[in-house]
Amino acid sequence: MNEDAKANSHERNAAQYLGQTESEFFVSPATGLYQPKSAEPKQEINVHVDANLESQGQSRERPKGTLEDSVANFLSGAAVLVSLFTLIGLAFTVKFAYSQWQEMVKAANASRDAANISALSLQSSETEFLQTLQQMQAQTKAQVEASGTAKKTLEVSERAYLSVGGPVISGKPIRLDMPIFNTGHIPAKDVSFLVFEETDAIAPPSITSTAPSTTFLEGHWSQWDLKEVVPPASSGTAIYSITVTSNPGDADEVAKGNQIIIVAGSVSYNYGFPKTPSDINWFCFHSFYDAGTKANRFIPCDAEAIISLMKKVIQYPNNYQPAYK
Protein backbone atom coordinates (compact mmCIF):
# COMPACT_ATOMS: atom_id res chain seq x y z
CA MET A 1 0.00 0.00 0.00
CA ASN A 2 1.33 3.38 -1.06
CA GLU A 3 1.32 6.44 1.14
CA ASP A 4 -1.82 8.06 -0.41
CA ALA A 5 -3.86 4.92 0.03
CA LYS A 6 -2.71 4.53 3.57
CA ALA A 7 -3.61 8.08 4.40
CA ASN A 8 -7.09 7.67 2.92
CA SER A 9 -7.56 4.49 4.94
CA HIS A 10 -6.65 6.30 8.15
CA GLU A 11 -9.02 9.12 7.37
CA ARG A 12 -11.92 6.76 6.68
CA ASN A 13 -11.27 4.99 9.92
CA ALA A 14 -11.24 8.29 11.77
CA ALA A 15 -14.56 9.30 10.26
CA GLN A 16 -16.15 6.02 11.17
CA TYR A 17 -14.74 6.36 14.66
CA LEU A 18 -16.36 9.71 15.05
CA GLY A 19 -19.73 8.22 13.93
CA GLN A 20 -19.90 9.98 10.57
CA THR A 21 -20.06 8.52 7.10
CA GLU A 22 -17.60 9.25 4.36
CA SER A 23 -20.18 11.09 2.30
CA GLU A 24 -20.44 13.76 5.02
CA PHE A 25 -16.77 14.87 4.44
CA PHE A 26 -14.83 16.53 1.63
CA VAL A 27 -11.10 17.01 0.83
CA SER A 28 -10.07 20.57 1.48
CA PRO A 29 -8.12 21.99 -1.51
CA ALA A 30 -6.09 24.18 0.84
CA THR A 31 -4.92 21.48 3.32
CA GLY A 32 -5.56 18.24 1.44
CA LEU A 33 -7.34 16.85 4.50
CA TYR A 34 -10.96 15.57 5.01
CA GLN A 35 -13.23 18.11 6.60
CA PRO A 36 -16.99 18.09 7.39
CA LYS A 37 -19.09 19.27 4.49
CA SER A 38 -20.65 21.88 6.77
CA ALA A 39 -17.31 23.73 6.51
CA GLU A 40 -17.25 23.49 2.70
CA PRO A 41 -17.30 27.02 1.10
CA LYS A 42 -20.39 27.93 -1.02
CA GLN A 43 -19.90 28.46 -4.73
CA GLU A 44 -20.59 31.93 -5.97
CA ILE A 45 -21.20 33.15 -9.43
CA ASN A 46 -18.39 35.56 -10.10
CA VAL A 47 -18.90 38.57 -12.21
CA HIS A 48 -16.20 39.07 -14.76
CA VAL A 49 -15.80 41.56 -17.47
CA ASP A 50 -15.21 40.49 -21.01
CA ALA A 51 -11.87 41.84 -22.15
CA ASN A 52 -13.24 42.97 -25.43
CA LEU A 53 -16.22 44.75 -23.81
CA GLU A 54 -13.99 46.25 -21.20
CA SER A 55 -11.69 47.60 -23.87
CA GLN A 56 -14.70 49.18 -25.53
CA GLY A 57 -15.79 50.86 -22.30
CA GLN A 58 -18.75 48.47 -21.86
CA SER A 59 -19.38 45.84 -19.21
CA ARG A 60 -22.00 43.02 -18.88
CA GLU A 61 -23.04 41.78 -15.50
CA ARG A 62 -24.07 38.18 -15.34
CA PRO A 63 -27.11 37.13 -13.22
CA LYS A 64 -26.41 36.32 -9.65
CA GLY A 65 -29.08 33.58 -9.30
CA THR A 66 -30.19 30.38 -10.94
CA LEU A 67 -33.22 29.83 -13.26
CA GLU A 68 -35.19 28.33 -10.39
CA ASP A 69 -34.72 31.54 -8.37
CA SER A 70 -35.97 33.63 -11.30
CA VAL A 71 -39.08 31.46 -11.70
CA ALA A 72 -39.71 31.60 -7.95
CA ASN A 73 -39.39 35.38 -7.97
CA PHE A 74 -41.77 35.62 -10.94
CA LEU A 75 -44.33 33.37 -9.31
CA SER A 76 -44.07 35.32 -6.07
CA GLY A 77 -44.76 38.60 -7.91
CA ALA A 78 -47.63 37.02 -9.81
CA ALA A 79 -49.13 35.77 -6.55
CA VAL A 80 -48.94 39.30 -5.14
CA LEU A 81 -50.70 40.67 -8.22
CA VAL A 82 -53.38 37.95 -8.02
CA SER A 83 -53.93 38.73 -4.33
CA LEU A 84 -54.17 42.45 -5.10
CA PHE A 85 -56.69 41.94 -7.90
CA THR A 86 -58.62 39.53 -5.69
CA LEU A 87 -58.80 42.15 -2.93
CA ILE A 88 -59.93 44.77 -5.45
CA GLY A 89 -62.64 42.42 -6.80
CA LEU A 90 -63.73 41.55 -3.28
CA ALA A 91 -63.96 45.26 -2.44
CA PHE A 92 -66.16 45.89 -5.49
CA THR A 93 -68.28 42.85 -4.57
CA VAL A 94 -68.73 44.06 -0.99
CA LYS A 95 -69.60 47.56 -2.22
CA PHE A 96 -72.14 46.18 -4.68
CA ALA A 97 -73.65 43.90 -2.03
CA TYR A 98 -73.85 46.82 0.41
CA SER A 99 -75.59 48.94 -2.23
CA GLN A 100 -78.04 46.14 -2.90
CA TRP A 101 -78.65 45.73 0.84
CA GLN A 102 -79.35 49.46 1.15
CA GLU A 103 -81.86 49.26 -1.71
CA MET A 104 -83.51 46.26 -0.09
CA VAL A 105 -83.72 48.14 3.23
CA LYS A 106 -85.28 51.13 1.44
CA ALA A 107 -87.78 48.87 -0.31
CA ALA A 108 -88.63 47.11 2.96
CA ASN A 109 -89.12 50.45 4.73
CA ALA A 110 -91.32 51.65 1.86
CA SER A 111 -93.39 48.46 2.04
CA ARG A 112 -93.72 48.81 5.80
CA ASP A 113 -94.80 52.45 5.50
CA ALA A 114 -97.30 51.52 2.78
CA ALA A 115 -98.66 48.70 4.95
CA ASN A 116 -99.00 51.07 7.92
CA ILE A 117 -100.82 53.60 5.76
CA SER A 118 -103.10 50.87 4.39
CA ALA A 119 -103.80 49.59 7.92
CA LEU A 120 -104.64 53.09 9.13
CA SER A 121 -106.81 53.67 6.08
CA LEU A 122 -108.59 50.34 6.60
CA GLN A 123 -109.14 51.08 10.28
CA SER A 124 -110.53 54.49 9.41
CA SER A 125 -112.77 52.95 6.74
CA GLU A 126 -114.03 50.31 9.17
CA THR A 127 -114.80 52.98 11.76
CA GLU A 128 -116.64 55.10 9.21
CA PHE A 129 -118.49 52.01 7.94
CA LEU A 130 -119.60 51.04 11.46
CA GLN A 131 -120.74 54.58 12.16
CA THR A 132 -122.67 54.67 8.88
CA LEU A 133 -124.17 51.25 9.61
CA GLN A 134 -125.27 52.35 13.08
CA GLN A 135 -126.84 55.47 11.64
CA MET A 136 -128.63 53.41 8.99
CA GLN A 137 -129.85 50.95 11.63
CA ALA A 138 -131.11 53.82 13.78
CA GLN A 139 -132.83 55.39 10.77
CA THR A 140 -134.29 52.03 9.76
CA LYS A 141 -135.58 51.43 13.27
CA ALA A 142 -137.13 54.89 13.33
CA GLN A 143 -138.65 54.30 9.90
CA VAL A 144 -140.04 50.92 10.98
CA GLU A 145 -141.51 52.47 14.12
CA ALA A 146 -142.94 55.34 12.10
CA SER A 147 -144.31 52.90 9.56
CA GLY A 148 -145.86 50.79 12.32
CA THR A 149 -147.41 53.87 13.88
CA ALA A 150 -148.75 55.02 10.52
CA LYS A 151 -150.15 51.53 9.86
CA LYS A 152 -151.90 51.43 13.23
CA THR A 153 -153.27 54.92 12.69
CA LEU A 154 -154.57 53.91 9.28
CA GLU A 155 -156.16 50.73 10.65
CA VAL A 156 -157.84 52.60 13.48
CA SER A 157 -159.22 55.29 11.20
CA GLU A 158 -160.26 53.08 8.28
CA ARG A 159 -161.10 49.67 9.79
CA ALA A 160 -164.58 48.13 9.95
CA TYR A 161 -166.60 48.54 13.15
CA LEU A 162 -169.63 46.25 13.52
CA SER A 163 -172.43 46.63 16.02
CA VAL A 164 -175.94 45.19 16.47
CA GLY A 165 -178.96 47.45 17.06
CA GLY A 166 -181.98 46.82 19.31
CA PRO A 167 -184.66 44.42 18.02
CA VAL A 168 -187.77 45.54 16.24
CA ILE A 169 -190.63 43.26 17.39
CA SER A 170 -193.64 42.25 15.35
CA GLY A 171 -196.18 39.50 14.70
CA LYS A 172 -197.38 36.28 16.21
CA PRO A 173 -195.31 34.21 16.46
CA ILE A 174 -192.84 36.92 17.35
CA ARG A 175 -190.30 38.11 14.79
CA LEU A 176 -187.32 40.13 15.96
CA ASP A 177 -185.34 42.04 13.31
CA MET A 178 -181.94 43.24 14.54
CA PRO A 179 -180.05 45.76 12.32
CA ILE A 180 -176.27 45.39 11.73
CA PHE A 181 -174.21 48.55 11.46
CA ASN A 182 -170.72 48.94 9.91
CA THR A 183 -169.53 52.36 11.01
CA GLY A 184 -166.04 51.94 9.52
CA HIS A 185 -164.74 52.74 6.04
CA ILE A 186 -163.94 49.27 4.68
CA PRO A 187 -165.89 45.99 4.62
CA ALA A 188 -165.77 43.64 7.57
CA LYS A 189 -164.66 40.14 6.54
CA ASP A 190 -165.56 36.63 7.75
CA VAL A 191 -168.52 37.77 9.85
CA SER A 192 -170.17 35.27 12.21
CA PHE A 193 -173.16 35.82 14.57
CA LEU A 194 -174.01 33.58 17.52
CA VAL A 195 -177.49 34.45 18.94
CA PHE A 196 -179.45 33.12 21.94
CA GLU A 197 -183.22 33.77 22.35
CA GLU A 198 -185.51 33.14 25.33
CA THR A 199 -189.24 33.82 25.85
CA ASP A 200 -190.74 33.89 29.39
CA ALA A 201 -194.27 34.45 30.65
CA ILE A 202 -194.69 36.98 33.45
CA ALA A 203 -197.40 36.61 36.11
CA PRO A 204 -198.60 39.77 37.84
CA PRO A 205 -197.60 40.27 41.44
CA SER A 206 -199.58 38.14 43.92
CA ILE A 207 -200.77 38.85 47.43
CA THR A 208 -197.72 37.03 48.82
CA SER A 209 -195.14 38.51 46.42
CA THR A 210 -194.36 42.02 45.31
CA ALA A 211 -192.22 40.82 42.40
CA PRO A 212 -193.54 39.22 39.25
CA SER A 213 -192.79 35.54 38.69
CA THR A 214 -191.50 34.21 35.34
CA THR A 215 -192.16 30.96 33.58
CA PHE A 216 -189.84 29.71 30.84
CA LEU A 217 -191.77 29.24 27.60
CA GLU A 218 -189.18 28.74 24.87
CA GLY A 219 -185.46 29.14 24.07
CA HIS A 220 -183.02 28.31 21.28
CA TRP A 221 -179.78 29.42 19.63
CA SER A 222 -178.82 30.14 16.02
CA GLN A 223 -175.75 31.05 13.98
CA TRP A 224 -175.27 33.29 10.91
CA ASP A 225 -172.15 33.43 8.75
CA LEU A 226 -171.60 36.25 6.28
CA LYS A 227 -168.67 36.70 3.90
CA GLU A 228 -168.58 40.43 4.48
CA VAL A 229 -170.54 43.39 5.73
CA VAL A 230 -169.84 46.53 3.74
CA PRO A 231 -170.25 50.01 5.16
CA PRO A 232 -173.45 51.85 4.09
CA ALA A 233 -173.46 54.67 1.60
CA SER A 234 -174.71 57.01 4.33
CA SER A 235 -173.60 56.90 7.93
CA GLY A 236 -175.99 55.50 10.53
CA THR A 237 -178.00 53.29 8.21
CA ALA A 238 -178.13 49.51 8.22
CA ILE A 239 -178.23 47.40 5.08
CA TYR A 240 -178.00 44.05 6.92
CA SER A 241 -180.10 42.49 9.67
CA ILE A 242 -180.63 39.18 11.48
CA THR A 243 -184.06 37.83 12.37
CA VAL A 244 -184.99 35.87 15.48
CA THR A 245 -188.35 34.20 15.99
CA SER A 246 -190.29 32.91 19.02
CA ASN A 247 -193.08 30.46 18.36
CA PRO A 248 -194.95 30.87 21.65
CA GLY A 249 -194.22 34.55 21.76
CA ASP A 250 -196.88 37.10 21.01
CA ALA A 251 -196.08 40.73 20.27
CA ASP A 252 -199.36 41.85 21.85
CA GLU A 253 -198.60 39.96 25.06
CA VAL A 254 -195.13 41.47 25.14
CA ALA A 255 -196.64 44.91 24.61
CA LYS A 256 -198.97 44.31 27.58
CA GLY A 257 -196.09 43.17 29.78
CA ASN A 258 -197.33 39.57 29.99
CA GLN A 259 -194.29 38.17 28.16
CA ILE A 260 -190.59 39.05 28.15
CA ILE A 261 -188.18 38.49 25.27
CA ILE A 262 -184.39 38.20 25.80
CA VAL A 263 -181.91 38.27 22.85
CA ALA A 264 -178.15 38.06 23.44
CA GLY A 265 -175.11 36.99 21.48
CA SER A 266 -171.79 37.93 19.86
CA VAL A 267 -170.45 38.92 16.45
CA SER A 268 -166.87 38.12 15.41
CA TYR A 269 -165.20 39.55 12.28
CA ASN A 270 -161.97 40.55 10.65
CA TYR A 271 -161.90 44.32 10.49
CA GLY A 272 -160.75 44.45 6.89
CA PHE A 273 -156.94 44.50 6.79
CA PRO A 274 -154.89 41.42 5.79
CA LYS A 275 -153.38 39.32 8.55
CA THR A 276 -155.28 41.11 11.30
CA PRO A 277 -156.88 39.23 14.20
CA SER A 278 -160.62 38.81 14.54
CA ASP A 279 -162.54 41.29 16.65
CA ILE A 280 -165.55 40.34 18.74
CA ASN A 281 -168.49 42.41 20.01
CA TRP A 282 -171.16 41.36 22.49
CA PHE A 283 -174.79 42.43 22.49
CA CYS A 284 -177.80 41.83 24.79
CA PHE A 285 -181.37 43.22 24.83
CA HIS A 286 -184.51 42.36 26.78
CA SER A 287 -188.01 43.75 26.63
CA PHE A 288 -189.15 46.04 29.43
CA TYR A 289 -192.74 47.03 30.18
CA ASP A 290 -193.23 50.44 31.78
CA ALA A 291 -196.42 50.19 33.83
CA GLY A 292 -196.61 53.95 34.17
CA THR A 293 -196.58 54.73 30.47
CA LYS A 294 -198.09 51.38 29.49
CA ALA A 295 -195.28 51.07 26.89
CA ASN A 296 -192.80 48.32 26.11
CA ARG A 297 -189.26 48.80 24.80
CA PHE A 298 -185.98 46.89 24.57
CA ILE A 299 -183.13 47.89 26.87
CA PRO A 300 -179.47 46.72 26.98
CA CYS A 301 -178.28 44.06 29.42
CA ASP A 302 -175.03 42.37 30.49
CA ALA A 303 -174.34 40.06 27.54
CA GLU A 304 -171.76 37.70 29.04
CA ALA A 305 -173.66 37.22 32.32
CA ILE A 306 -177.03 36.72 30.58
CA ILE A 307 -175.59 34.33 27.96
CA SER A 308 -174.04 32.20 30.72
CA LEU A 309 -177.53 31.82 32.31
CA MET A 310 -179.31 31.29 28.98
CA LYS A 311 -176.98 28.41 28.00
CA LYS A 312 -178.11 26.56 31.14
CA VAL A 313 -181.80 27.32 30.62
CA ILE A 314 -181.91 26.25 26.95
CA GLN A 315 -179.48 23.39 27.54
CA TYR A 316 -176.89 24.60 25.00
CA PRO A 317 -175.72 23.15 22.57
CA ASN A 318 -179.16 21.51 22.33
CA ASN A 319 -182.16 23.38 20.96
CA TYR A 320 -180.43 24.67 17.85
CA GLN A 321 -182.64 26.48 15.39
CA PRO A 322 -181.45 27.22 11.86
CA ALA A 323 -180.92 30.83 11.04
CA TYR A 324 -183.98 32.64 9.73
CA LYS A 325 -183.65 33.47 6.03
Per-residue pLDDT tens for 190-225?
999 999 999 999 887 555 555 567 899 999 999 999
CA–CA separation, 321 and 245 (whole Å)? 10
**Does the structure show a pLDDT above 80 at 72?**
no
Residue-level pLDDT at 133: 82
CB atoms within 10 A of CB 226: 16
Residue-level pLDDT at 264: 96
Mean pLDDT of 289-294: 86
Residue-level pLDDT at 272: 87
**Does the structure show a pLDDT above 80 at 63?**
no
Residue-level pLDDT at 59: 47
Say what the pTM is.
0.55
**Does the structure show a pLDDT above 90 at 319?**
yes
**Does the structure show a pLDDT above 50 at 47?**
no
As a whole-number percent, the residues of the chain with pLDDT over 90 amount to 32
Question: CB-based contacts of 251: which residues, under 8 Å, 6+ apart?
Answer: 169, 170, 171, 172, 174
Give the DSSP letter string of 148-160: HHHHHHHHHHHS-
Structure-model confidence comparison of residues 116 and 10, the more confident one: 116
**Does the structure show a pLDDT above 50 at 105?**
yes
Counting Cβ atoms within 10 Å, is residue 310 exposed (0-12), middle (13-18) or buried (19+)? Answer: buried
- Do 260 and 276 meet the contact criterion of CB atoms below 8 Å apart? no
Mean pLDDT of 141-153: 76
Model confidence at 268, in pLDDT bands (50, 70, 90)?
very high
| Domain map (residue ranges) of the chain | 3-41, 162-313
DSSP state of 320: B
Residue-level pLDDT at 310: 94
SS3 258: coil
Residue-level pLDDT at 27: 60
